[in-house]
Amino acid sequence: MLERPRTGKLEDTRLPDRDSLAHELRLLGAKSRPYRLMVGSKASTHHRDDVRFRVCSAALPPNALIRISDRTLITGPELTFLQLAANDDLDEVSLGLIACELCGTYVLDTSWDGLTNTDKPLTSVARIGSFLDQMPGTRGCRLARRALELAFDNSNSPMESALAMLLCAPRRYGGMGIAPARLNHPVRTADGTRYVDLAFPKHKVGLEYKGKEYHSIEASERDDRRQNKVVGSGMTILNVWHEDLKSRHLFDQLLRDLHRAMGIRLRRKDDFLYRQDVLRARLMPKGSERNGGSPYGKRAGSSGNGTFSEDELTDRIDDDQPLFDDLPHESETS
């Protein structure tokens, strides 16, 4: 779909009859009704129980919509992200994780490990930012911009996104604010290019995430040999296990080791430790997925105000209890 023509015009859109619409959207992968359709004016709406309408009166950038057929357009990933930010039930952290998925090489689904890896990203942080530049004053635009501060290109799994956010997000969100950083950073070695899960190129330090239930012995040996090649190129590599993110004590130890390897001093204040615990609690995956589950959720906090009690934080982090309901795959932005 990303290779198809783009447009920003809604004037020529018409509502197909019920059977034609159902057939076409079924071919596109729509699995539930009512269908969410965007139109250019209220005059284009009709009373039907199989559709819900969203009227878009703003001028759209020319790359906002993807033309699937002569009569069907879908929102591009950049406009979809902006519409999600306008829904009012997602905060910066949840939107930042969604941006990592849109700009990464994985898609959350219902498969055995909770995701499917893809050949290339749907978009990039820069392309989303450029799109927002063309929509100043639009509902959700300011929130979307703040969320992009937490997003990364080239993530290959939800837990890579979570790891990057914990270490690199601004401190006001509970991250460590370490920058610059890159996910799946290419490193030249004597045997060709190798990729580091999370790298800090300026300091020549990288992190390799091992997962909740690490791979087979054969896969582990292969990854260790790959890591040896990267280390041989002059980069220091630290291994990160699921427990390092789940346990407050082990995460603190990881931070000390990372800062020591980078040659920088670890500085934190008491009020920051609470924000850090809240962010870690939100980013831990649900269930027992191998590579990590969906960390997406609605606006944070069991009481709706983005806060947890100390007991709740201890339970949620150390016992790996689910925090939030999964974000539905169908949304108002389809």
pTM for the predicted model, two decimal places: 0.80
Nearest CA-CA partner of 122 in 79, 173, 71, 171:
79
Edge to edge, the sheet with strand 6-7 lists 6-7, 65-67, 73-75
User: Whole-angstrom Cα distance, residue 145 to residue 270?
Assistant: 28
Cβ-defined contacts of 49-56 (< 8 Å, 24+): 50/18, 50/21, 50/22, 51/15, 51/21, 52/332, 54/332, 56/10
Which tokens go with 120?
Answer: 């290339």
- Residue pointed to by tokens 């937490």: 150
Print pLDDT tens along the chain (334 aa): 889 999 998 876 677 888 988 988 888 888 888 988 888 777 667 788 898 888 887 789 999 999 887 778 889 999 999 999 998 889 999 999 999 999 999 999 888 888 899 999 999 999 999 999 999 989 999 999 999 999 999 999 999 999 999 999 999 999 999 999 999 999 887 777 889 999 999 999 999 998 755 444 455 555 655 555 556 567 888 999 988 998 889 999 999 999 999 999 888 777 788 899 899 989 986 543 344 444 555 544 433 344 444 444 444 444 333 222 333 333 333 3
Which tokens go with 322?
Answer: 């689910």
126 contact partners, CB below 8 Å, separation of at least 6: none
The 3 state secondary structure assigned to 294-317 is CCCCCCCCCCCCCCCCHHHHHHHH
